[in-house]
Structure 1
């Protein structure tokens, strides 16, 4: 933030002018002495810098701040370093390399976000997505954070990231994978097969070297630092993968025998000169021939996660096999397909149909049965007849029978009742 001194027409004093937050400001020095005016301007400059939360020695140009970000990425071995370089160039194009960081305000950043979302297109001539803008904003945040940690600035502007709704949900059904293998370019078939069954990242697979492969024990071990989560990983190869790896190894041995090139990488380019670095063209052409336009290599990762779950593999184990650091990330990859939804509805209908076929006889709730009044009347009549029968026996056979409180009749003497009617009444 520079404060310049100038002579203003119609005024006996020197004046100062500066830009802050995109606006021009002017103020009189109230002195006719140029030397004193320059000192006053210097003090004003320091005041403005302090007001912005930046020390006087930190009038850092934007380019210098972003160079610190790239150095930080490189020092920490970030695999996204080259992508960060490209995004920094995009930031330079808007903010300009020589812009002082004090002039990059929250309002400027919001204007940048609006510009990227409304005015810019990607390589496919589509609008820039919020996720893309967020990656650029994260570089800005990192730059200000580095300067703040080094006590070069006293405050960091608030940079709010956009909401991202473009989480990919693609996956491969097994028949789609088989169709792809029929049409895929020959030199990428082993790589594609390995990625489909393991779900490992492309950057991990193409960097597998033969010293990581133990063919005798059927296991591949990638060391810590080579994976995204910085943890090592083991893969115990099933028969089909082990057979494929043995075939690749045999071809390599033969090339060495006849003094031809044989890189240390397992998955090599079609000329056998180096590892596979980029298969975008071969991938897109293979998918097009197979009628699978729009499929991504990363869809294999989601597919493997779903297949592990369907096969009954515990989530913790599947998470370890795929190299997911948290359960929340794994759950994003465990995709539910349309077929899963159809199967769920089908199972529901089978269950409901089975319930209908074996439906028990349901008794309507009390008070709603049509026959309830009739049953109640029958019970009342039975109780009335029972009491009348007991009364009759007591009166007629006072010395012959005994009737207890529960209405049970006991013959006290003789062989019983003198007539058959009274005997039947007693039995009832």
Structure 2
């Protein structure tokens, strides 16, 4: 019987089978007519669910809606920027329509998509990362992993040129000004970034369980939930040791400046720093410091460039967690500059001894500042 009452229960229960699967549960009503209507709704829902499930594994043409949903479940939700990626996939669905099949997406449609995204007034990098790259990811996975037909797209024609990422290093004076202007509770997080090259999210998420004072190591979780181990230098050890009694779990914390009942904050109490709170503090106090043209990501550039002056490219690659050393190669300018200074010293010998001493001194000063 599709709807029935369990012994001693006034409410009806539904129970039916569809395509070999059983569906059952409470209807939430003691009225049989209403229970039968709910039963029909549940049958419709079951049909839709099984149809969607069949589409997920179908080998024929797949709709963009199904493909985006599957890509989100298998890839998107596990990315470090998952919230943003969810929005990117939503934009693609709004642009193409949910029911377009992947085999009908052509170079012409992709070019129109790029044009539409550019008309929003965003940069080339934003067009690539919010539209072209997500769509390429869906279609590549559909073709290679799901084995479903997709349009033949020449992606190289649709990726817009992006300016090379700059490498902005903070001078010793700029670093001092930044830290002096920063709030006392946020300054250690900024100092840690300058010392280790860690990303903002890696700093916010750092817990004491990943700090090994005895082994002098720190384990950080970066993009794609990939972990890497960083050695604890004397400067980092001293910085973290001063913070160890602030919070039992989170390494970096802030002091609430006012009581906020809605957010459950009590004035004067320490709480783990948040991503948004850290961003706000950085913008406010960086501007106050007077240091111009310096973004938070530049703390990572600063740490990498300084380390490269006394180490090598492989060391910096491991420190930053780059999979491909070509990504690290943008810091090569530091080695080239020091090479120039060393060559100047080597070429100004003999009758130019004074110049050689000056250049050698310059190289030593750069090593000390690093």
TM-score range, shorter chain: 0.5 to 0.7
Structure 2 gap segments, 5+ residues each:
1-57, 257-269, 355-370
In the alignment, which residue of structure 2 is the partner of 1:129? 123
Mapped contact 2:107–2:152 kept (Cα < 8 A): no
Aligned to 1:363: none
Distance 1:103 1:226 in 2: 37
Q: Which has a greater percent of helix?
A: 2
How far residue 140 of structure 1 moved from its aligned partner, in angstroms, is 0.8
Contact residue 145 and residue 156 of structure 1 kept, 8 A: no
Q: Which structure 2 residues correspond to residues 6-405 of structure 1 after superposition, within 5 A? A: 58-74=60-76, 77-117=78-118, 119-121=119-121, 128-135=122-129, 136-148=131-143, 149-153=145-149, 155-160=151-156, 161-217=159-215, 219-222=216-219, 226=222, 230-238=226-234, 240-250=235-245, 252=246, 262=247, 264-271=249-256, 272-278=270-276, 279-310=278-309, 312-336=310-334, 344=340, 348=344
What's the offset of the Cα at 1:193? 0.4
- Tell whether the 8 Å contact from 1:69 to 1:139 is kept in structure 2 after alignment: no
From the superposition, tell whether residues 248 and 351 of structure 1 become closer, same or farther in structure 2 (CA, over 3 Å): same
Which aligned runs of 4 or more in structure 1 are off by greater than 4 angstroms? 225-229, 334-338, 343-358
CA 57–353 in structure 1, closer or farther in 2 if over 3 Å, else same:
closer
Displacement after TM superposition at 1:274 (Å) = 3.0
Q: Displacement of 1:234 after TM fit?
A: 2.8
Residue 221 of structure 1 and its aligned partner are, at CA, apart by 2.6
Residue ranges of structure 1 left out of the alignment (5+ in a row):
1-55, 122-127, 253-261, 359-428
Cα distance 1:348–1:175, how it changes in 2: closer, same or farther (>3 A)? Answer: same
Counterpart for residue 379 of structure 1: none
What secondary structure sits across from 1:283 in the alignment? helix
Root-mean-square deviation (CA, aligned residues, Å) is: 3.3
TM-score (norm 2): 0.65
Contact 2:308–2:316, Cα closer than 8 Å, also in 1: yes
Corresponding position of 1:406: none
Greater Cα shift, 191-200 or 131-140: 131-140
Alpha-carbon displacement from aligned partner over 1:36-58 (angstroms, at most 9, x marks no partner): xxxxxxxxxxxxxxxxxxxx974
Aligned mates of 1:172, 1:159 — CA distance in 2: 37
Q: How far 1:146 sits from its partner (Å)?
A: 2.6
In structure 2, C-alpha distance between the alignment counterparts of 1:92 and 1:151, rounded to whole Å = 21
**Distance verdict in 2 for CA 1:86–1:294, change over 3 Å:** farther
For the residues of structure 1 that align with 2:82 and 2:272, how far apart are their CA atoms?
Answer: 22
| Kept after mapping to 2: 8 A contact 1:303/1:335 | no
Q: Provide the secondary structure at the position in 1 that maps to 2:230.
A: strand
Structure showing greater radius of gyration is 1
Once the 2 structures are TM-superposed, how far is the Cα of residue 147 of structure 1 from its aligned partner?
A: 2.3
**Aligned partner of residue 217 in structure 2, secondary structure:** strand
